[in-house]
Amino acid sequence: MICRKSLKKSIAASAVAGAVVFSFMFTQPVTAQAEGEHDGGHIIPHEIGKLNISGGITSILQGTSGIADSGDVTDFTYTFDLNLEAAISEKGKVAVALEAGDGNGVNDNIPSLSISNYDAYITESGGIVTPSVSQAYYEGSFLDGQLGLRVGKLDVHGCHDENAYANDETDQFLTAMFTKYAGSIFPELDSYYAPGISLRYSPAEVADITLTAANGVGSGFEDITSNAYLGGQVNIKPNLMGREGNFRFYAIYDARNNYRDIDYSSKIEENTAFGLSFDQEISDGLGLFVRYAMQDDSVLAWSDVNGDDSVDGWVDTDSDSIVDTPEVLNPVKSAVSGGVSLNGSLWRRDQDVVGIAYGVLINNKDNLAYFDSTVIPNPGDESHFEVYYKLGFNDHFTLTPDLQVVTNAGGDADNDTITVYGLRAQMNF
């Protein structure tokens, strides 16, 4: 999630970005680069002098079937991304990412633990209607490329749990748990993007190690050495059968002060999580992926979002905050998901892709604050199925019909099966 920016800050950020663009525009001619080696053709960078620019607009139309309480809906969302990069030395560059968007889509209407429109969630949750700076960092390469560094305002959750076939909500799956597990299992940072540092060391071609540190409380810019959010990942790349593959193992340590013992005591706890994210190319045009993660099932996460004085839960005696039962999170103790990616080259449509995925969020039934027998008398593990067909018309435009099926939404087996059908248009420039 992203904190709401004031209009003045948004205008100022846009003005700074515009000044950078124009300062480079008048020093060098404009040229278009080839598509990035590792971006799957999704990003199309252009050079304006020393500045490298890429961007995209994502529009999503979704409708629902099976929502009993509030009724079925049809909603539309859009998001806008603009990425700016400029080399400042032979081994280093600065990068700035701006985002905007509007609409929360069907997310507000489906009582699921993993949302159906992850693209809209990231921008709408922070009210980013005008362009705002989501990332601004320095990236450097050292030791002949063995050591990589990123420092600044980062997409911290993007530093681990990556996946070649299930990683980008604007180009692949729309369901949150098929993009990354942060937010569906363990809580995201308070502002999603945050100041941090990430180091990646590659001792050999078949392995790399990533260490990331950030402050996840509030905007992340106050008391940055307190309440650390740490992530570590080992990626093994064995080149099985001569094919590309990644076998990632990661761990997360979250010391934010919004965790409590599951027995409702006021003791401050940290949260820990472990996961794996595998992707492997099987043959030309065929790839598989698997994810699994688990977190500490003895802690609760809470947020005093209501800010009231009513007592419906327990009092945090350490800070005199009132914690209401609806504010209690962490109902999931583990998750598993997997799927297949089929490239259109198999049927002579090289720019098309089919993705199929299935996953389950396993309830933490010891979390009685969430699974209160008077509220959810019949708990059941929430499951998600998604299939999409991405039609690639050219390097700049794709159209993706998408179908999702959600069972036991919210971990409640009494909820009806919900179907989400949608259409995503992606325009890259």
Q: Per-residue confidence at 301, pLDDT binned at 50, 70, 90?
A: confident
Establish if 1 belongs to a structural domain: no
Exposure letters 89-111 (e unless 16+ CB within 10 A, then b): eeeebebbbbbbbbbbbbbebbb
Establish if 2 belongs to a structural domain: no
CA-CA distance, 279 to 357, in Å (whole number)?
Answer: 13
Q: What are the structure tokens assigned to 347, written together?
A: 């049927």
14 has pLDDT over 70: no
CA-CA distance, 292 to 126, in Å (whole number)?
Answer: 28
263 contact partners, CB below 8 Å, separation of at least 6: none
At residue 289, the pLDDT reads 99
Mean pLDDT, the chain, as a whole number? 84
Question: Region 178-195: what's the mean pLDDT?
Answer: 90
Q: Which of 34-43, 276-285, 368-377 has the lowest mean pLDDT?
A: 34-43
Cross-strand partners of 76 = 61
What Cα–Cα distance (Å) separates residue 57 from each residue in 106, 119, 141, 285, 398?
A: 19, 11, 30, 26, 11
CA-CA distance, 312 to 180, in Å (whole number)?
Answer: 32
CATH of the domain at 353: 2.40.160.10
268 has pLDDT over 90: no
What Cα–Cα distance (Å) separates residue 3 from each residue in 119, 136, 216, 256?
A: 16, 15, 12, 17
* Interval 20-76: pLDDT, tens: 333 433 334 333 333 333 444 466 677 777 899 999 999 999 999 998 877 889 999
Q: What are the structure tokens assigned to 306, written together?
A: 């209501």
At residue 366, the pLDDT reads 85
Q: Which of 112-116, 175-179, 197-201, 269-273 has the lowest mean pLDDT?
A: 269-273
**What percent of the chain is predicted at pLDDT more than 90?**
62
- Cα-to-chain-centroid distance, residue 261: 27
Establish if 267 belongs to a structural domain: yes
Q: What are the structure tokens assigned to 338, written together?
A: 């997997």
Q: pTM, whole model, 2 decimals?
A: 0.84
201: enclosing H helix or E strand: strand 194-204
At residue 18, the pLDDT reads 45
At residue 26, the pLDDT reads 36
- Residue written as token pair 């942060």: 182
φ and ψ at residue 332, rounded to 5 degrees: -110, 135
Q: Which of 79-83, 261-265, 311-315, 330-334 has the lowest mean pLDDT?
A: 311-315
Q: What are the structure tokens assigned to 291, written together?
A: 């994810």
Establish if 92 belongs to a structural domain: yes
Question: Region 260-285: what's the mean pLDDT?
Answer: 87
At residue 188, the pLDDT reads 87
- Residue written as token pair 């999931």: 332
Establish if 333 belongs to a structural domain: yes
DSSP of 281-328: EEETTEEEEEEEEEE-TTEEEB---S-----SEEEETTTTEEEEGGGB
User: How many domains does the structure of the chain reveal?
Assistant: 1
DSSP of 379-399: B--EEEEEEEEEEEEETTEEE
Q: Per-residue confidence at 127, pLDDT binned at 50, 70, 90?
A: low
Q: Which of 128-132, 218-222, 262-266, 304-308 has the lowest mean pLDDT?
A: 304-308
Residue pair 126/104 in contact by the 8 Å Cβ criterion: no
266 has pLDDT over 90: no
Burial class (CB in 10 A: 0-12, 13-18, 19+), 7: exposed
Q: Per-residue confidence at 308, pLDDT binned at 50, 70, 90?
A: very low
Question: Region 264-277: what's the mean pLDDT?
Answer: 84
Range of the domain at 19: 7-428
Residue pair 238/205 in contact by the 8 Å Cβ criterion: no
